[in-house]
Amino acid sequence: MLMNIQNTAPRPKSPHPILNLGFRIFFVGSAVFAILSMLLWLAILQGFAPFKGTFNPFYWHAHEMIFGYALAVIAGFLLTAVKTWTGQMMPFGWHLGAIFGAWATARLLWLGLHATSSSAMLIVAFVFDLLFWIMVTYSVIKAVWVARQKRQIGIVAKLTLLMLASIAFYIGVFLDNTNVQQIALYGALYLVIGVVFTIARRVLPFFIVKGVSVDNDGKPNGLNIEQKNSALLDRMNLIGFFGFIVFDLFMKFPTIAGIFAFICVIANICRLKNWYHPAIWQKPLLWSLVIAFGGMTASLLLFVVLPFIETDVNVHSLGLHGLALFGVGLMTVAMMARVSLGHTGRNIHQPPKTVSAIFILMILSALCRVLMPMLGGDYMMWILISQVAWILCFGLFCLSYVGILAKQRTDGLFG
């Protein structure tokens, strides 16, 4: 006699669909914050909102782009992807709400720190920032440990280092040590780019395979390409990027840093060549990711040529902003646009009609902040145009995706 054995475990429940998985609440929160923080930064630079904090206003901006926006997107992605990688349930419901609440509280405090020198507010922001990242890191480590997935150790290490960078920045502020603040911020940006390189290496070939093997209606079109990843290129990128960080950030040898950056550039050009398929240009969710990866790689070239050129513009700063706008800006908004569809049960081959405009606005923001200043013109005007394009990009993302992220999956599953 055969017994019909069914899974009797209770189905997960949350107070609202937006708390079902990390990507929902954090993608919405990060997009809204991207608009608010850039509006405030624009107002500060234009003199409409005088900066009264106790530290460098440029460091305030950098902190919120890295530890505010970027870490929120990474948290949303990992609190979703790790469930797929390990098979372990990730935080949802009120537990997820508590993680998001810690991040949101810190962000509200930091938005207010531009107008005050309150040490008490800074200390409270530090506590909530630390609490947020401890909860995210613990959730990832717990799932990886239970699943015994040693190959995730790289992600875990980067999350831990990001926590240390956050602590170091606050220590630098409390001690009024700008050198410590700068090292913490630059180091955190490089760590975020390292996370982006790692995640992109995993998902970009997969997304390309899934994307080009069907037409825009989701029907097979006969194309079938292989995923192409090389262990040699992985090692080249790792060694190149690690060496670049050491000699750019700590040793201060631009020439040697440039050599390591060049190794990283070669590795990633080869990766793009291996992944390339002409059909990607028919799919905004693919060409946006490829351009983002290519833009990160091109930005590293600025560090390669840095020791050999003399110019009135700060090439190192342009390189940093290139990595930030392509690796953090375009890569994250493109990833959010794709993940938000797939993880809500929607057709990834039929994204909102606005996605091309969303990505073009971010590309415009990057070009105006990085390329145009090298060609001349009013530097502050280019920055203003870049800021406006960034704000419009995320405004359009919110209009297109908040409704999707706040609704149940189309297939009725939890997630």
Output the pLDDT for position 218: 61
Output the pLDDT for position 104: 98
Tell me how far the alpha carbon of residue 29 is from its chain's centroid.
Answer: 13
Phi, psi of 26 (to 5 degrees): -80, -30
**Rg of the Cα atoms in the chain:** 21
- The highest-level CATH class for domain 17-406 is mainly alpha
Tell me how far the alpha carbon of residue 86 is from its chain's centroid.
Answer: 21
Query: What pTM does this model have?
Result: 0.92
* Residue 182 buriedness (CB in 10 A; 0-12 / 13-18 / 19+): middle
Output the pLDDT for position 117: 87
Output the pLDDT for position 311: 77
Residue written as token pair 């040898």: 253
Phi, psi of 92 (to 5 degrees): -145, 175
Residue ranges of the chain whose pLDDT lies below 50: 1-9
> 268 is written with which tokens?
């990633």
Q: What is the pLDDT of residues 78-115, one digit of tens each?
A: 999 899 888 899 999 999 999 999 999 999 999 999 99
Domain boundaries, the chain: 17-406
